[in-house]
Amino acid sequence: MSLANQIVNLLAALLLLIAFAMLSQRRILTLIKLLAWQGGALAASTAIVAYSTGQPHLYFSAGLTVALKVGLIPWVLHRLIDRLNVRWDIETLINIPATMLIGIGLVIFAFALATPISQMASVFTRSTLGIALASVLLSFLMMIVRRKAVPQVIGFLAMENGLFFAATSATYGMPLVVELGVALDVLVGTFIFGIFFFHIREQFDSLDIRHMEKLKQD
C-alpha cells in the first residue's frame, strides 16, 4: 500500500470520526467548528488524490473546498447564529448514547453495502467508499434526530461533504463543471436557509421544527 493511499485512508477515518463527533455534539458553536474541520480533511484527501493520480482538476476542487467549506460557510453560519442569538445547547430527540449506537449500526450497514461495489472498482481509493457512504448516512441521522433548524442545516452540509468524498473516492471526482455547480448550489442553499431561519423565527418565535407541525392542526 502506498503512502498516499495510507494517508487517504487515515483522512477517511478522520472524516468518519468527525461525523460521529458531530452526532454527539451538544453545542452549535463546536458543531460549526467540526464542520470546518471536516471540510479541511476533505480538501486534504482530495489534494492527495489529485497529487497521486495527476488529475489537475481535483486541485481546483480541493481549493474550492477550502475556500467554501473551511472559510466561507462556517463564517456565514457564525454570523447567522450571532444574529439569531442561538448559542443554546442542542436538543436531541433520542439521547446521545442511543444515537451513537444507531450510528454504529448505520456504519455497519454502509460498509456491508459498499464492500461489493468497491471490489468491482479499480481506483486506488476504492476502500474509502464505505466510509463516504457511512458519513452520508450519519449526516442523515443527524438531520433526523435534531430538533432545531440550525443543526439540521449543518447536518445537510455535512451530508454534502460525505457525497463529495464519495465522488472523489469512487471515480476520482466529478467533472469540474458539476463540482462548481454543486459548490455554488450549497453556497446559495446556505444563504437561503439563513433567510428561512429568520422567517421561521419571526413566525414561531423559535427555531424548533416541531412548531411547524402545528400548521396542519389549525
Give one DSSP letter per residue of 153-182, joined into a string.
HHHHHHHHHHHHHHHHHHHS---HHHHHHH
Report the distance separating Cα 175 and Cα 169, nearest Å.
14
Give the shortest CB-13-to-another protein separation in angstroms. Answer: 3
Question: Measuring CA to CA, which residue among 70, 150, 143 is closest to residue 106?
Answer: 143
Reduced to 3 states (helix: H, G, I; strand: E, B; else coil), residue 123 is coil
Give the shortest CB-93-to-another protein separation in angstroms. Answer: 17
Give the shortest CB-100-to-another protein separation in angstroms. Answer: 5
Q: Which of the ranges 4-12, 70-78, 83-91, 206-214 carries the binding residues for another protein, by CB under 8 A?
A: 4-12
**Residue 24 binds to another protein (criterion: CB under 8 A):** yes
- The single residue among 72, 93, 94, 101 that binds another protein, judged by CB under 8 A, is 101
Report the distance separating Cα 131 and Cα 114, nearest Å.
9
Report the distance separating Cα 185 and Cα 179, nearest Å.
10
- The single residue among 39, 74, 103, 151 that binds another protein, judged by CB under 8 A, is 103
Q: How many residues bind another protein (CB under 8 A)?
A: 27
Contact of 65 with 41, CB cutoff 8 Å: no
Q: Which residue lies nearer to another protein by CB, 11 or 50?
A: 11
**Residue 111 binds to another protein (criterion: CB under 8 A):** yes
Give one DSSP letter per residue of 4-29, joined into a string.
HHHHHHHHHHHHHHHHHHHHH--BHH
From residue 126 to residue 165, what is the string marking binding to another protein with x (rule CB under 8 A)?
-xx-xx----------------------------------
98, amino acid identity: A
Give the shortest CB-124-to-another protein separation in angstroms. Answer: 11
From residue 27 to residue 46, what is the string marking binding to another protein with x (rule CB under 8 A)?
--------------------
Which stretch of DSSP H or E encloses residue 89? none
Question: Measuring CA to CA, which residue among 136, 218, 209 is closest to residue 169?
Answer: 136
Q: Which residue lies nearer to another protein by CB, 73 or 138?
A: 138
Question: Measuring CA to CA, which residue among 173, 155, 154 is closest to residue 164?
Answer: 173
- The single residue among 104, 117, 192, 195 that binds another protein, judged by CB under 8 A, is 104
Binding residues vs another protein (CB under 8 A): 1, 6-7, 9-10, 12-14, 16-17, 20, 24, 96-97, 100-101, 103-104, 107-108, 111, 114-115, 127-128, 130-131
